[in-house]
Amino acid sequence: MKGFIFMICKITYIAFDGTEFSDAAKCKEYEEKQLTEKEVFLEREAKTVGENLWCKYFPDISPQNVKLKSGQELHWLEKEIPEIILKSDIHPSLEMIKRDILSLSEKSGTRLLEKLNFEEIRKQCQ
């Protein structure tokens, strides 16, 4: 009589950051939570960058103390950039503003540039 061989098949679900789960639903829930946290961080970063741009190009005027609801920050920054370009004494180019965004936001500057609608910003600057 031959012995029996028992095998166990184990499925592992791996989230985008390498975290492992044995359950697909928990893996999906974890990834969604991580994405939400990244988006919230990016929105906050957009407001901070906007305030810093304002301070750079309007040093004599303190930034407007704007109360924004969560999720409005990127849209607000898109509205602030044309204001800065058109009303600042320096009249920075859109390329200068992009470089400033990268330098003011070392962690997420590239993601901010990807999220901002520069075609719309360009139209508002004309």
Q: What is the C-alpha to C-alpha distance for residues 100 and 85, in angstroms, rounded to an integer?
A: 12
- What's the pLDDT score for residue 17? 85
pTM equals: 0.70
Is residue 10 included in any domain, yes or no?
no
- What's the pLDDT score for residue 103? 94
Is residue 4 included in any domain, yes or no?
no
Is residue 112 included in any domain, yes or no?
yes
Task: For 17-59, write each residue's pLDDT tens digit.
Answer: 899 999 999 999 998 898 888 888 898 899 889 889 988 998 8
Cα–Cα distances (Å) from 60 to 54, 91, 124, in that order, read 10, 16, 24
Is residue 28 included in any domain, yes or no?
no
Is residue 78 included in any domain, yes or no?
yes
Is residue 21 included in any domain, yes or no?
no
Structural domains counted in the chain:
1
Q: Which residues 6+ apart lie within 8 Å of 113 measured at CB?
A: 98, 101, 102
Is residue 66 included in any domain, yes or no?
yes
The two structure tokens encoding residue 120: 């719309």
Do the beta carbons of residue 42 and residue 111 sit within 8 Å? yes
Name the residue range of residue 63's domain: 39-124
Handedness of CA 52, 77, 89, 94 (dihedral sign): positive
Task: For 54-112, write each residue's pLDDT tens digit.
Answer: 889 988 877 666 666 667 888 989 999 999 999 998 889 999 999 999 999 978 899 99
Is residue 81 included in any domain, yes or no?
yes
